[in-house]
Amino acid sequence: NAGVTQTPKFQVLKTGQSMTLQCAQDMNHNSMYWYRQDPGMGLRLIYYSASEGTTDKGEVPNGYNVSRLNKREFSLRLESAAPSQTSVYFCASRDTGRQVRTEAFFGQGTRLTVV
């Protein structure tokens, strides 16, 4: 049981390049999330998807777009990368089908550097 899988694990981009971070979960969870974690700091929510077909902005959505491709997959796109987007990105999922006060399961993270 893989849980939450993120690809790639590491990426270096040049300023202005675009890329898509992929996330897939095999736990049949309804809700999925993208967070960023800057050095020495906590988690900041970028976007989330409460269910297939819906997405909502979090605390720091500027410069990002998301797609909930199906129930399993939730991708994060950087259209024009900036050095300020250098961070570690975490995808998470939760089972919110019957009740919403459930725990989140995290991927291993994507370490992105924008030069």
Partner 1 sequence: GDSVTQMEGPVTLSEEAFLTINCTYTATGYPSLFWYVQYPGEGLQLLLKATKADDKGSNKGFEATYRKETTSFHLEKGSVQVSDSAVYFCALSQSNYQLIWGAGTKLIIKP
In the complex, the residues that contact partner 1 under the rule CB under 8 A are 4, 31, 33, 41-43, 45, 48, 50, 56, 58, 90, 92, 94, 96, 100-109
* Nearest alpha carbon to residue 2 among 88, 108, 95: 108
To the nearest whole angstrom, how small is the minimum distance from the Cβ of residue 104 to partner 1? 6
Whose CA is closest to 37, among 52, 54, 15, 59? 59
What Å distances lie between residue 67 and 39, 40, 79, 99, CA to CA? 26, 29, 13, 24
**CB of residue 80 vs partner 1: minimum separation in angstroms?**
27
Cβ-based nearer residue to partner 1, 14 or 41: 41
Shortest Å, Cβ 58 to partner 1 = 8
